[in-house]
């Protein structure tokens, strides 16, 4: 298992941005099926993303159709796929959206789709008998995360900086990229010292017992909007009604999740996964769903949703100079914003 340095990211972002600027446009045509615009996207294995729920609830009916292109491995990969035209929309945490947008990728965030609250959050877990007690004990340790350049990386940076550590000390932490389904097992076997876990994989790990959290992003920030869906600017220009239909449906689905009893949500997710019959999926982790985790009503975006990650972005060299988050998102397609 190979540990990766968090500080290789600026060079990677530069290369990705160059690729995006030359590749955009190849997938910019808006296809239709039966007279309805088609939105290509990536899902997550054994999970239901909010647009899939919105479609199942009928919120996209006669407005847009979803077309699954496969599963993503991370938020940064998902929005890179959107920016290069491989899919029409993608979602990632606000720091990755800001990093890609600041690097020149022609994308715009249109709605928040995940975040943290008292029930749903990202946590960093160790075995109960681990000597790691506080964030400062993370120095020199290996932390399993789902991707480089994702929220887990930013969380580690910010909690260590808040603990008074400098950049050289923070560099001693090694991030090890692991598939989310394998991260719990890796920390239990001692392959990594700490597991960064979120969503149903985290809740399953906690339910299995024997782990404790060193810190969580909810403890670090309180309730917050974590990530946004983005579209390419050329797609927005060609089919603004499709984007508006998508945002409106996702917003309604967010509020459905907030208002619906947990047992009914789990039953709906289970039904969706069983109905789509994708290879290798199961519904075993769906029962661990706890909440939508999006504090913003209807997923409305604010400057703070991107500004939250500015310290990490600057300290890792991902952005320099002025940073105006308002240039990276819009709420004009959200029908709930007056």
pLDDT of 278-303, one tens digit each? 999 999 989 999 999 999 999 999 99
Residue 336 is assigned to a structural domain of this protein: no
Q: What is the pLDDT of residue 73?
A: 84
From residue 303, how far is each of 171, 194, 206, 308, 313 by CA, in Å? Answer: 28, 31, 33, 9, 15
Is pLDDT above 60 for 138?
A: yes
What is the per-residue pLDDT across 212-252, written as a single tens digit (0 to 9) for each? Answer: 999 999 999 999 999 999 999 999 999 999 999 999 999 99
Residue 146's CATH number: 3.40.190.10
Is there a domain that residue 127 lies in?
A: yes
Q: Do 107 and 130 lie in a common domain? A: no
Instruction: Name the helix (H) or strand (E) containing 16.
Output: helix 9-23
Instruction: Check pLDDT > 50 for residue 12.
Output: no
**43 close to 49: Cβ distance less than 8 angstroms:** yes
Is residue 69 domain-shared with residue 214, that is, in the same domain? no
* Res 19 pLDDT > 80: no
Q: Is residue 179 located within the same domain as residue 32?
A: no
109 lies in the same domain as 34 = yes
**Same domain as 98, residue 158:** no
Q: In terms of domains, do 65 and 127 share one?
A: no
The pLDDT of residue 23 is above 70: no
Do 127 and 90 reside in the same domain of the chain?
no
Residue the block writes with tokens 């590749």: 23
The answer to whether residue 311 sits within a structural domain is yes
Average pLDDT over residues 23-31: 60
Q: Are residues 79 and 133 in the same domain?
A: no
Same domain assignment for residues 239 and 286: yes
Mean pLDDT over residues 20-42, rounded? Answer: 74
Domain end residue (candidates: 190, 219, 248):
219
Is the pLDDT score of 317 beyond 60? yes
Q: Tokens 């959050």, residue?
A: 121
Residue burial 247-257, b: 16+ Cβ < 10 Å; e: rest: bbbbbbbbbbb
Q: Which domain holds residue 153?
A: 123-219
* Residue where a domain terminates, one of 181, 197, 219: 219
Asked if 48 and 139 sit in the same domain, the reply is: no
Task: Let me know if residue 60 belongs to a domain.
Answer: yes
User: What is the pLDDT at residue 200?
Assistant: 87
Question: How many domains are there within the chain?
Answer: 2
Which of 16 and 33 is assigned the larger pLDDT?
33
The answer to whether residue 197 scores a pLDDT higher than 80 is yes
Kindly report the average pLDDT of the chain as a whole number.
92
**How high is the pLDDT of residue 66?**
98
Do 238 and 110 fall within a single domain?
A: yes
Q: Clarify whether residues 18 and 79 are in a common domain.
A: yes
Structural domain ending residue among the three candidates 219, 245, 269 = 219
Mean pLDDT of 61-80: 96
Contact 227, 150 (CB under 8 A): no
- Considering the domain boundaries, does residue 332 fall inside one? no
Q: Could you tell me if residue 202 is inside a domain?
A: yes
Q: Is the pLDDT of residue 307 over 90?
A: yes
Given this model, what pLDDT does residue 28 score?
59
């Amino acid at each position: 298992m190979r540990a990766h340095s968090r500080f290789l990211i600026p060079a990677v972002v530069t290369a990705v941005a160059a690729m995006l600027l030359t590749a955009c446009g190849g997938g910019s045509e808006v296809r239709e099926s039966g007279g309805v615009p088609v939105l290509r996207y990536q899902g997550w294995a054994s999970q239901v993303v909010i647009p899939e729920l919105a479609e199942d609830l009928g919120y996209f009916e006669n407005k847009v159709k979803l077309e699954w292109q496969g599963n993503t491995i991370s938020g940064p990969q998902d929005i890179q796929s959107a920016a290069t035209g491989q899919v029409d929309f993608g979602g990632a945490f606000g720091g990755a959206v800001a990093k890609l947008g600041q690097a020149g990728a022609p994308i715009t965030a249109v709605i928040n789709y995940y975040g943290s609250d008292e029930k749903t959050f990202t946590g960093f877990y160790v075995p109960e008998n681990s000597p790691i007690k506080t964030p400062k004990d993370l120095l020199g340790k290996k932390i399993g995360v789902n991707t480089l350049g994702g929220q887990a990386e930013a969380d580690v940076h910010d909690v260590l900086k808040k603990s008074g550590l400098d950049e050289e000390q923070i560099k001693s932490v090694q991030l090890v990229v692991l598939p989310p389904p394998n991260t719990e097992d890796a920390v239990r076997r001692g392959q990594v010292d700490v597991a960064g876990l979120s969503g149903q994989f985290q809740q399953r790990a906690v339910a299995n017992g024997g782990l404790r959290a060193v810190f969580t992003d909810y403890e670090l920030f309180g309730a917050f909007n974590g990530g946004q869906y983005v579209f390419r600017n050329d797609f927005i220009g060609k089919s603004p009604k499709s984007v508006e239909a998508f945002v409106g449906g996702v917003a309604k689905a967010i509020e459905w999740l907030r208002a619906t009893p947990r047992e009914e949500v789990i039953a709906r997710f289970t039904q969706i996964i069983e109905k789509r019959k994708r290879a290798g999926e199961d519904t075993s982790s769906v029962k661990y769903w706890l909440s939508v985790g999006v504090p913003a009503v209807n997923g409305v975006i604010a400057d703070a949703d991107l500004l939250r990650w500015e310290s990490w972005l600057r300290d890792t060299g991902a952005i320099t100079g002025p940073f105006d988050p308002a240039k990276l998102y819009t709420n004009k397609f959200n029908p709930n914003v007056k």
